[in-house]
Amino acid sequence: MRWRPGPIVTILAIAAVVPLVDLVLPAELALSEAVRTVFLYAILALGLNVMTGYAGMLNLGIAAFMAIGAYAFGILSCEIYPFQLGFWPALALTIPIGALAGFILGAPTLGLRGDYLAIVTLGFGEIVQDILKNLDSITKGMQGINPLPAPSIGGAMWTSNDERSWYYLLLALLTLTVIAARNLERSRLGRAWFSIREDELASRSMGIRVERAKMIAFATGAAIAAFAGGLSASVLSSTGEPNNYDFQVSILALCIIIVGGIGGVAGVLVGSLVMVGLNSIVLAKATAWMAAHGIGSQGNVMLSPNNWKFLIFGLALVIAVRIKPTGILPPKLERGRV
C-alpha cells in the first residue's frame, strides 16, 4: 500500500513552512510569532489529552501544572537563585517535577468518581496560584521570576527576537511530544487508558490496575503540562505572575481538546490551531484593523470591538460543539497492529 501522510504529519509539515510564507507576507501579517503560542498551547493540550482524552479523567486545573513547570524552570535557572542550571537541564527537570506534582495531587484523589475529580483539580488549579503568591520569599510572589535563560546553540543566547530559531525549536519539541503521546497511545498503557475511559468496571474485571493506569496518565499529563510551562516561561523570559496560570488557561486547554476532537493527537493539534488561532490571530488582527480604521469607539461599551471578544469566543465554542460534537478531527479507530 502506498504511504500517505496522516493528518498529524500534514499539520506538522505545513507548520514547518509557515516562517517561509512569512517572508513574503508584509510584516504586520507575520504569523510565526502567533503560531508559536499555538505550539505552546498544543503541548499543554497534549498533556491534558493524556488525562482527559485517553484516560477519561476530567481535569479542570491543568494550568496548575503549567505554573509548577514554569516556576520550577524559573527557580532552577534564574540568576537570582543559586541553582542557575541553564536552559536544557532546567527544562528537562520540569518533567519529573511535573510528574511528582501530578503524583502528589493524584495519589489521594484518583479513586474519585468523574466529576468529583474535576472539582478537585479545579480547586488545585486555584490554590496553586494562591500558594505561588503566598510563598513570595521563594517564588517572588506577584513579581514573577525573570530573566530566564533561552537555549544557545552555537554562540549567544537567543532572545525573543530570534524568531525563526524559537519557532523551529518549539516545533521540534512539539513534534517530540506528539511522538511520545502517539507511542503511549499505541501501547499497552494507551489501551488500558482507553478501556478505562470506555468502561472502568469492565476493564477492572479484566485485570487492569485502574488506579495505577490512572496515576500514570495523571503524572504523564502533568509532566507534559509542566514541560509546556517551562518552555513558555523561557520563551517569555519570565514566569509572568501566578495569575497568568488561572482557570481560564485550563478552560482554553480543555476547549482545545474537545473542539479539536478528544482523544486524538491530530484533533489536539487542529484544536489548538483553531482556538488559539481564533484568539491570538483572528480576533487580535481584526480588532487591530478595526481600531486602525476608526471603527468603533471607546465611549460606548458596546461599540468597542474589544468588548465583544468574550462573546465571540463563547459563541465559537457553542457553535463548534453544536456542529461537530465529536470535534473537528475525532480520533479514528486504531486499525493497525497495536
Partner 1 sequence: MNATRTAILTLILIPCVGLLGSHSASAQGTLKIVSSLPRTGSANAQTSTIVNGIKMAIDEVGGKVDGWTIAYQDMDDASPQRGNWDPAVEAQNANTAAKDEEVVAYIGTFNSGAAKVAIPILNRAGLVMVSPANTYPGLTKPGKGEANEPMVYRPSGKINYFRVVPTDDLQGVQAANWAKDLGIHKVFILHDRELYGEGIADVFKKQAESLGIEVVGFEGIDSKAANYRSTVTKIKALNPDLVYFGGTTQSNAGQIAKDLRSGGFKGKYMVPDGCFEQAFIDAAGAGNLNDNTFITFGGLPPEKLTGRGAQFCSAYRTKYSADPEAYAAYGYECARVILQAMARAKTKDRAGVLEAIAATKDFDGVLARWSFDANGDTSSTVMSGQTVHGGKFEFVKILGD
Partner 2 sequence: MKAMEVHGVGVTFGGIIAVHDVSFAVEPGEIFAVIGPNGAGKTTLFNAVTGIHPPTHGHVELDGREQVAPMTRQTMVELLVAFLLVGVGVAATVNVERLWQASVIDNYIYEQPFPWGSALADLGRAVATLGWLGGALPLVCGGLVGAGAAWTNWSRARRSPDHIARTGVARTFQNIRLFNELSLVQNVLVGMDARMRAGFFSALLRLPRFRRERERFHAEAMKLLEFVGLADRALEAAGALPYGFRRRLEIARALAGTPKLILLDEPAAGMNPTEVGGLMALIRRVRDRGTTVILIEHHMKLVMGISDRIHVLQYGRTIAEGSPDAIRSNPRCIEAYLGVEENG
Partner 3 sequence: MFDFEVLVQQLITGLSNGMIIALIAIGYTMVYGIIELINFAHGDVFMLGAFFALTLMGVLGMESWGPGGQAVGVAAMLVGSALFCGALNWSLDRVAYRALRRSSKLALLVSAIGCSFICMNLGLFWGGLPMDVFAGGVAAAAPKDFPALVPQVNLLGESFIRITPADALVFAVTIPLMVALTLMVNRTNLGRAMRAVAQDPVAASLMGIPVDRVIGATFFIGGALGGFASVVYSLYNNTIGFQMGTRAGLDAFTAAVLGGIGSLPGAVLGGLTIGCVRAMSDQYLETRWTNTIVFCILVLILIFRPSGILGSSRKEKV
Angle between helices 32-48 and 163-185 (to 10 degrees): 20
Give the closest residue to 280 by CA, choosing from 25, 42, 34, 28: 34
- In contact, 272 and 41? CB cutoff 8 Å: yes
Q: Which does 317 bind (CB under 5 to 8 A by kind): partner 2, partner 1, partner 3, none?
A: partner 3
Q: Name which of 205 and 300 has its Cβ closer to partner 2.
A: 205
Q: How many angstroms separate the Cα of 288 from the Cα of each of 20, 218, 269? A: 24, 40, 26
- Phi/psi at 326 (nearest 5 deg)? -90, 0
Sign of CA dihedral 182, 149, 36, 281: positive
Answer yes or no whether residue 315 interacts with partner 3 by CB under 8 A.
Answer: yes
292 by Cβ neighbours in 10 Å (0-12 / 13-18 / 19+) ranks as exposed
Find the shortest distance in angstroms from Cβ 74 to partner 1: 12
Q: Which is nearer to partner 2, 176 or 315 (CB)?
A: 176
Q: Does 180 bind partner 2 (CB under 8 A)?
A: yes
80's enclosing H/E stretch is: none
Say which entry of partner 1, partner 3, partner 2, none residue 92 contacts (CB below 5 to 8 A, set by partner kind).
Answer: none
Partner from partner 1, partner 2, partner 3, none binding residue 43, C-beta < 5-8 Å depending on class: none
Binding site for partner 2 (CB under 8 A): 79-83, 104, 107-108, 111, 135, 137-138, 180, 183-184, 187-192, 194-195, 198-199, 201-211, 216, 220, 333-335, 337-338
Binding site for partner 3 (CB under 8 A): 52, 58, 108-109, 111-113, 115-116, 118-120, 122-124, 126-127, 130-131, 133-134, 201, 247, 251, 254-255, 258-259, 262, 298-302, 307-311, 313-318, 320-322, 325-326
